[in-house]
Structure 1
Amino acid sequence: MKEVKIEIKIDVFDDINALPEYASNLMFEAIEARKKAYAPYSNFHVGAALLLSNGKIVVGSNQENASYPSGLCAERTAIYYAGAKYPDSVIKAMAITAASSNEATKNPIPPCGACRQAIAEYEDRQNSSIEIFFMGETGSVARSHSLSNLLPFGFKSSML
């Protein structure tokens, strides 16, 4: 047997004002998108914003449904819209913010597993990394330079 150690690197900024300008602008777009979330069941509002290689910014918010599996996370709402509307553009960066109506979210909240897999598909499809910034409602902001930091054993089409 051989033990393998996996390490990841995440940068942490004190707050949104410490981000590079393009990232803070993107996070402000995600915050505005979060305000449009439809989350009457979980009371957990998420917004996402994508910066595309064509300069466009695409946003998404989580959309819940009384039939729980029928809802969709903010990250996938945004990434699938970008794929449908701008199929030839590369996703350069993504900003994600989450807030709960039940308690303050002050720590960075990363994408869920399903969203990580969807982001991984786009990194694989475009053959380049997506820089991911994520935060709660307030507080520090984490940055991963690639989805592979958040999902080191992602499932890829080459495995089929």
Structure 2
Amino acid sequence: MNPLTHVDDSGAANMVDVDNKSVTSRSASAEGFIYMNKMTFDAVIEHSNKKGDVIATAKIAGIMAAKKCADLIPLCHPLMLSKVAVEITPEAEKLRFRVTSTCKLSGKTGVEMEALTAVNVALLTLFDMCKASDPEMHFEHVRVLQKLGGKSGNWQSSHKEH
């Protein structure tokens, strides 16, 4: 048996059949960081970016992206999410913003991809809104923090804080 769930025994891509799985409460959280120069960081904090409220816009973008994950990632199941939360926290000492997301549902498949999609699109939105003042911004440490529920149970990242 192939250990990769989205590849069949012949190596062809396939969507996993979740029909026989039980509906359970599931959630997943993810995080990522965007680093920028001090001038750009301060402009975001002070709401003086010419494009508007950078943080509010990035939060909305992340939430919308989680809801569209199946349209963006091949072989992902369309899901009826019951909750998507995106938080963006400034970390002035490191000139970065920490973006976290949590996605929840009652369903037959997990929501890790939705949580990761929310983080990545929020990061991309932060970049897009700030690129004129700092084209050298970069992302780091995008990862799943934890998942809860489902057949495989609960899982938490063993990586240390960044």
Task: Calculate the TM-score normalised by the size of structure 1.
Answer: 0.29
Q: Which has the higher strand share?
A: 2
Q: Which structure would you say has the larger RCO, counting Cα contacts within 8 Å and 6 or more residues apart? A: 2
Normalised to the residue count of structure 2, the TM-score between the two structures is 0.29
